[in-house]
Each structure stands twice: as structure tokens, then as C-alpha cells.
Amino acid sequence: MILASRFTKQFHRGVLRLAPLTTTWRMAPRSKLLLCGGLLMLISVTIALFLPPPVAAKQAPNQAATIKAVALQLEKFAEGFTQPVKIARAEDDRLFVIERKGYIYVVQSNGVKVATPFLNIVSRVGSDNSEQGLLGLAFDPTDANIFYVNYTNLSGDTVVARYKVAANNPNLADPNSEQIVLTVDQPAANHNGGDLAFGSDGELYIPLGDGGGGGDPSGNGQNLSRLLGKILRIHVSGVTTYTIPAGNPFANDSNPNTRAEIWSYGWRNPWRFSFDRSTGDMFVGDVGQSAHEEVDFEPVNTAGRNYGWNRCEGTYVYPAKNPPQACPTNAGFTMPIFDYGRSDGCAVTGGYLYRGATYPNLVGHYLFADFCTGNFWDLTPNGSGGWNNTKLGKLGANSPSSFGEDHNGELYVADYGSGIIYHIKDTAQTTTPTPTSTPTPTATPTVVATVPTVPPPRTPWIYMSEIHKAQ
């Protein structure tokens, strides 16, 4: 700006020296007018060349102003799985798919399933009930050769264990390397939670359900002396079992009865959860009892929240009143960012917020689904602290049991009934064609068949979901 101003002043002095010539030269009035106009145009162009370009106003990521419309489609990526319940990743181009009975398989970047299981612990996994089995997987962010699993053992209790990758083959784990990190007694066969994930702080987070039974009869969700109905946060890297990381809200509360592992409480059955890879924020899909499914949001480093169960189900008082009553806002509960009723589904499957690069319009959209109906939703921030929701309906996966995110931020979803892993695409993304000298006819667009809205198959999982609502 200073350079432009200095140059303009010098140029202006030169023009003033030339100005008398227009009065002394014998020129026609039209010629004088053209000369002056040309000089003024030259001044304008020169100033424009030296001025810096305008700077666009900056916007924080994931704000309402940056959210764009999308049109989602599921594309088959891999197949041949039996009851897939989890899609996980290592920090490379592979995906890992868990089968509930106790197998983990590697899927290469081209969608090919490696025939030999990465891990086979069927003999250690109790899976008689449809909500039991091998349920969670997370790789240690500090060591790619170490990973953790969450499963129910032959006694029906929750086990979090550490395993190592085989020394001579990255597509094989060493089944004899198991180290038990944590065991939690389960009073019933359902509401086990089961997921695992490392947060941006490097600590391992473990969602646990309330222990089963209708309405949390033991009051585990609100009892800080028990691990059930909580999300735990523990430090596992470089230690034999685990230690309590700094920042856990009840570690130093001077109450000897509270459990130091607890990060948050008031959960019923947080089946699938995830972290925003950009911000570290947490999203949780908490399966409801008999009326409402909910999605919860937790900003990064927000410890000690109470998410309401069993005082609230979704945004309503539990046990349900007639007419329904909203959950009190002065009771210290954190309300979900979205909930839905039985007309839309019966078991929420939490998803991910898209942060990939393939579909720019999809960035900032949180995608999730319902296991029972196959309905999908899209949540986006509204810019005022709330969230807009869009029901996408059925996209082709009739029983979505888990979402997954690869190392590039692309999203996938597992269909429990068909055993197919789908890649989630945004068909609203278009590429501007390169102009050519000779016009060519526009190609006929490919027609995407509409998936008929037929009811999903009545799998054992759905049957149990329906049964335990009444328990």
C-alpha cells in the first residue's frame, strides 16, 4: 500500500508537468479529450497493479455458512463378511472389519478382503446373545504394532485387551500376545456398549452400557461408584495394564467411592461413538429404551458431563409421562443434539463427521443411521450453537451396524445383514468440464436406481433390540 501511494504521487507530478502541453499545443478539442482520458486510464491501471488483492473474510471451519448441500449414495466397497459390527483403521490404507463371533479381517485399499483373518479369538469370545461378541477395535496411536479389542468373554463380562501385530506379517496379529487391560462384570447379556477409540489426547476411551435390564434397574448410569453406564478414559500406552490420566474429573474429588476411570456418565448403551479428527470433539449414538434414540455431542476436553440416563430418555423425562414431559434443563443434564422416536427407528448407530478431501461439500456433515430401519441422517451446525437435521431415508444398507473412517477421512458403513461394507459418496459433487473448440454432445447422465423402501430383514440382532426394549 505504501509503495502504491508513493508511486501514485510521483506519477501524478509527471502528469501535472504534461498538463500545460494540452493548452499550448494546437490540438483539436477531441484530441485533447482523448489524451486526458488515456492518462486517467493509465493512472487507474497502474494503481490497481500496485495495490494488494482484496482479502476474503475468514470463517472458522464447521460453521453454518460453510455447510453445503449433499446427495449421498452408498457404493459397494467390500463384501463377504458375517455379521460385521465394527470398521476400524490403522494409520495406513487398510481397513479392519470385525465379525461379531470373534474374527477381524483386513480389507486392502482396493476393497479386497484378505482371506486369512487378522485375528481369530472365537474361542475366547462369548457371543450367544446378539449384543455380545467381539465389538471394538482401536490401534495404539504411538505404536502401529499394538492394538486393543473390546469383547464379551465366555462368562459374559466385558474385556478390554491388548494385542500385538505379528513380527513378520502386518496382516496377521499374534493371538498369543493378549494382555488383559480391564475386565468389567456384566449383570445381563445386553447393553454392553463395546466400542473403543483413542482421543486426540492419546488416551483410550471405552463406552460401557448400563448393564442391561429395562430402565437401568440397578441405577448404574447415575452411580459414580460403578463403571457401567459410563464412558471411561484410561492411559494404556507404555504400561502393563492402565493408569489414570490427568484430567479425569473424579480422580481427585476426595470421594473414595467414585471411580477414577470415569470420564462421563448417564449413558444407557453408547453403541458407537467417534472423534472429529479435526477438532477432537466427540459424537455418541446412545441407544434408547422404549421411545427415543439420541445423538450426543461433547466438545473436546469437556469432562464430567451427565447425559441423563435413567432420568431422561432423549430429551424427555424417563419413565415416560402422559403427556410426555421435557427433561428439566436445571437438573445438570447435557441434552442430546438430536433425538428421534420409534416411527423412525429403534437402535441408533453413531457415525462420523466427514473431514475427507474427496467430497468438499460433505465436510462438516455428521452422518449416522438406525440399525432397525436403515434410515440415515445428516446433522450440520446451524451457526447458533444448535444443529440442523436432515433425514436422508434408506440408502441401501438395511441394517447399518457401524460406520468407519479411513486414514484419509473417507467414510464407510457396514451392513450387518448382507455383510457388505459400503463407501459413502456425495453424488452432488460435479467436475466442471474442460472447454473444447468443437462443441460435443453432453453425455447422458447415469441414472441411480432408487432403493425400494422395503422393511429390513428380521435378523436376530433386531429381534433382540425389540425384546430388550420391554425388559
Per-residue pLDDT of the chain (471 residues), as tens digits, is 433 443 344 444 443 443 443 333 344 444 444 444 444 444 443 433 333 333 333 333 345 546 788 999 999 999 999 999 999 999 899 999 999 999 999 999 999 999 999 999 999 999 999 999 999 999 999 999 999 999 999 999 999 999 999 999 999 999 999 999 999 999 999 999 999 999 999 999 999 999 999 999 999 999 999 999 999 999 999 999 999 999 999 999 999 999 999 999 999 999 999 999 999 999 999 999 999 999 999 999 999 999 999 999 999 999 999 999 999 989 999 999 999 999 999 999 999 999 999 999 999 999 999 999 999 999 999 999 999 999 999 999 999 999 999 999 999 999 999 999 999 999 987 444 344 333 333 333 333 333 333 333 334 344 344 434 445
Rg of the chain over CA atoms, in angstroms?
29
What three-state secondary structure class fits 5?
A: helix
pLDDT tens, position by position, 55-113: 333 333 345 546 788 999 999 999 999 999 999 999 899 999 999 999 999 999 999 99
Q: Sheet holding 103-107: strands in order across? A: 84-89, 95-99, 103-107, 119-120
pLDDT for the residue 66: 66
In whole angstroms, give the CA distance from residue 380 to residue 359. Answer: 15
- What single-letter amino acid sits at 236? V
Are 354 and 363 spatial neighbours (Cβ–Cβ below 8 Å)? yes
Three cell numbers written together for 62: 464447521
pLDDT tens, position by position, 260-307: 999 999 999 999 999 999 999 999 999 999 999 999 999 999 999 999
Q: Which of 283, 347, 286 is nearest to 312 (CA)?
A: 286
Q: Which of 464, 469, 400, 387 is nearest to 129 (CA)?
A: 464
Domain boundaries, the chain: 2-50, 68-429+453-469
pLDDT for the residue 63: 56
How many Cβ atoms from other residues are within 10 Å of residue 115's Cβ? 8
Per CATH, the number for 68-429+453-469 is 2.120.10.30
- What single-letter amino acid sits at 368? F
Residue with cell 432397525: 372
**How many Cα atoms sit within 13 Å of 418 on the Cβ side?**
18
Three cell numbers written together for 69: 448441500
H-only helix segments in 254-336? none
In whole angstroms, give the CA distance from residue 446 to residue 429. Answer: 14
Q: Which residues pair with 349 in a beta bridge?
A: 369
pLDDT for the residue 429: 73
In whole angstroms, give the CA distance from residue 252 to residue 271. Answer: 29
What pTM value is reported for the model?
Answer: 0.80
How many Cβ atoms from other residues are within 10 Å of residue 30's Cβ? 8
The backbone region for 156, taken as left when phi is positive above 0, alpha when psi lies in -120 to 50, beta otherwise, is left
DSSP conformation letters of 146-191: EEEEEEE-TTS-EEEEEEEE-TT-TT-EEEEEEEEEEEE--SSSS-
Q: Which residues pair with 297 in a beta bridge?
A: 283
DSSP 15: H
Phi, psi of 179 (to 5 degrees): -125, 120
Write out the H or E segment, with its range, that includes residue 404.
Answer: strand 400-405
pLDDT for the residue 329: 87
